[in-house]
A and B are shown apart, each in its own frame.
Chain A
Amino acid sequence: MALLKPRRLEYPFTPEQVGSLRAGQFVLVSGLVYTARDRIHKYFFDGGKSPVDLKNAALYHCGPVVIRKDSDWVVRAAGPTTSIREEPYLPRIIKDHGVRVIIGKGSMGKVTEGACKAGGCVYLHAVGGAAQVLAEKVVSVKGLYFGEEFGLAEAMWVLELKDFPAIVAIDSKGHNLLRRVKSASLRMGRKLMKSSDPFIP
């Protein structure tokens, strides 16, 4: 698969932009994204109102480490957190708010595939643990919501990104790269176990 040429994605994420992405492609995301973790997902799922318009927006599963420097916020670390925890909430949030991009890490299942397909949304896999590299892609902090209610790690940060690298894990047709890798590895695993070459001391 040719990967050399990353696709560029820029906020607002239009249905056309997002619809043309395919699982496995490499993308660079620029513009606004909103961080959201467990508390925010639960809140939206329960029907809570969003302080910002999330139509054609991106939710980033991330609890950034942000410090105050004079009157500015500075991001010290901004890697993804495990997305599967939010899976039950996603279909509803994508539908109610028109979210078009989810950024996170780790395996996602049928529920997210269905939600992506129904909502013309994609799930992008960021590089897990690459806190420093990813923090550099945050050019500025544009806002903060729910800081008092949910605490700074669980809050909704409005981040402006520049060329934030990620890989399309689930596209808007519901194709799931992680599932493909998993099925192939399961098959290979079974083959290795069946092999006529057991480990004998």
Chain B
Amino acid sequence: MKNHVQWESSLFELIRRTSVDLPCDIEQGLRRACKTEKKSSRARWILEALLENVQKARDNDAPLCQDTGSLIFYFQVPVGFDTNALASATRLAVARATRLGYLRQNTIDSVSGSACATNVAYGAPTFYFEQCARGTVDVRLLMKGGGCENVGKQYSLPAESLGAGRDLEGVRRCVLDAVVSAQGNGCAPGILGVCIGGDRATGYECSKSQFLRKLDDKSPVKILARLEDRLLKESKVLEIGPMGLGGNTALLGLKIGSMSRVPASFFVTVSYMCWAFRRRGAVLTVRGGFKKWLY
């Protein structure tokens, strides 16, 4: 690829910004939530601390949370574009962001237990490439924390213990169960990404890709939009609240997608992303130049 330097520098800027600057839709979500909690309540106080943290991270140009998570890149490229070169430029950018402290050394060899100095290893970062009929490269980045990753859940329907059958009411029950079992342990308030269908692997992929949606959008599928709405309302009456210390803001948002499935399987997969919702994206030229931010 030509312009390797240009690519690396645009991708580095994307990583830097993702790490230190919470997207505007999420910050507004926190602000709205803050207003709904009682004055001088624990919930309100925690949300205020989170908002202060958002401002400080931006001002100090320092990571929002010390767990800078796992990095997931979603690329949409023109047909025939050299994605190998794009991946290697991205790896360079990740290594530099680690060197400069925008990313913690957060990649562990699962067999030896040793930490990797650059955050570039097998499976780190993760890439998705899609070819599109367009003349630009769209890149989106999620930095997914470990604490919230640990509270994700996958259900196989029917799930007797929940009385959950193979229908949308069954899906609703799974999601309610996931919210209750997560409590505040994924650093609530979080955002849920849900996938109906798929297999065990694609279910999680699809549930995570829901995090690319803006907080205030609605599913284009009417019935799913209704389910999103209802579950978000129901999450409030569980009184889990920020950090699981009580209040009505357990979730800032809830996004549901669906995939086809085989007749024998019916999975419902729930991913949880913490309040430190690090998601940014940019439109780049085919030479790696910056055009505009997507979020």
Residues of A participating in the B interface, judged by any CB pair closer than 8 Å? 1-4, 24, 26, 63-65, 67, 76-79, 82, 84, 105-107, 125, 127-133, 136, 151, 165, 167, 169, 177-178, 181-182, 184-186, 188-189, 192-193, 198-201
**Interface stretch of the complex, out of B53-61, B91-99, B196-204, B210-218:** B53-61
Q: Of all chain A residues, which has the CB nearest B242?
A: A127
B82: chain A residues within 8 A (beta carbon): none
A77 touches B238 (CB 8 A): no
A105 touches B49 (CB 8 A): no
A77-B62, A77-B66 are contacts. A106–B185 as well, Cβ < 8 Å? Answer: yes
* A128 smallest CB distance to B (angstroms): 4
* CA A63 to CA B68, docked complex, whole Å: 13
User: Is B101 positioned at the interface, with any CB of A under 8 Å from its CB?
Assistant: yes
Encoded as 1 (CB less than 8 Å from any A CB) or 0, chain B from 241 to 278 comes to: 10111100000000000000000000000000011100
* CA A182 to CA B227, docked complex, whole Å: 24
User: Is B23 positioned at the interface, with any CB of A under 8 Å from its CB?
Assistant: no
Contact of A181 among B163, B179, B241, B274 (CB under 8 A): B241
Could you name 17 residue pairs across A and B whose Cβ atoms are closer than 8 Å? A1-B42, A67-B101, A77-B65, A106-B185, A128-B274, A129-B50, A129-B64, A130-B52, A133-B56, A151-B115, A178-B245, A181-B183, A181-B245, A185-B180, A192-B176, A192-B234, A201-B223
A26 touches B42 (CB 8 A): yes
B243: chain A residues within 8 A (beta carbon): 105, 125, 127-128, 167
Top 6 closest pairs, chain A to chain B, by CB:
A77-B66, A132-B56, A128-B187, A129-B65, A198-B169, A130-B53
A185-B240, A193-B173, A201-B168 are contacts. A136–B56 as well, Cβ < 8 Å? Answer: yes
* CA A106 to CA B146, docked complex, whole Å: 13
A132-B64, A189-B176 are contacts. A167–B50 as well, Cβ < 8 Å? Answer: no
A181: chain B residues within 8 A (beta carbon): 183-184, 239-241, 244-246
Contact of A182 among B45, B171, B244 (CB under 8 A): B244
A130 touches B245 (CB 8 A): no
- Given A82-B150, A169-B245, 20 additional A-B pairs, CB 8 A: A1-B42, A2-B40, A24-B42, A79-B67, A82-B185, A84-B185, A106-B147, A106-B184, A127-B46, A128-B187, A133-B52, A136-B56, A167-B245, A178-B245, A182-B180, A185-B238, A188-B237, A189-B176, A198-B169, A199-B169
User: Is B104 positioned at the interface, with any CB of A under 8 Å from its CB?
Assistant: yes
* CA A106 to CA B57, docked complex, whole Å: 23
* CA A106 to CA B46, docked complex, whole Å: 14
A76-B101, A106-B185, A167-B42 are contacts. A133–B49 as well, Cβ < 8 Å? Answer: yes
Give chain A's interface secondary structure class: mixed
User: Is B193 positioned at the interface, with any CB of A under 8 Å from its CB?
Assistant: no
Within 8 A of A (CB), among B11-58: 40-42, 45-46, 49-50, 52-53, 56-57
B171: chain A residues within 8 A (beta carbon): 199
User: Is B130 positioned at the interface, with any CB of A under 8 Å from its CB?
Assistant: no
Residues of B participating in the A interface, judged by any CB pair closer than 8 Å? 40-42, 45-46, 49-50, 52-53, 56-57, 60, 62-67, 101, 104, 115, 145, 147, 150, 162-163, 168-169, 171-173, 176-177, 179-180, 183-185, 187, 223, 227, 230, 234, 237-241, 243-246, 274-276
A182 touches B183 (CB 8 A): yes
B162 touches A129 (CB 8 A): no
A201: chain B residues within 8 A (beta carbon): 168, 223
Query: Tally of A-B residue pairs with Cβ under 8 A?
Result: 148
B177: chain A residues within 8 A (beta carbon): 189
B245: chain A residues within 8 A (beta carbon): 125, 167, 169, 177-178, 181
* CA A67 to CA B63, docked complex, whole Å: 14
B172: chain A residues within 8 A (beta carbon): 198-199
* B245 smallest CB distance to A (angstroms): 6
A127 touches B104 (CB 8 A): no
A193: chain B residues within 8 A (beta carbon): 162-163, 173, 176
B41: chain A residues within 8 A (beta carbon): 1, 3
A2-B40, A182-B244, A185-B180 are contacts. A63–B238 as well, Cβ < 8 Å? Answer: no
A177: chain B residues within 8 A (beta carbon): 245-246
| Most chain A CB inside 10 Å of its own CB: which residue of B66, B179, B230 | B66
* CA A129 to CA B190, docked complex, whole Å: 12
A79 touches B65 (CB 8 A): yes
Q: Of all chain A residues, which has the CB nearest B231?
A: A199
Q: Of all chain B residues, which has the CB nearest A24?
A: B42
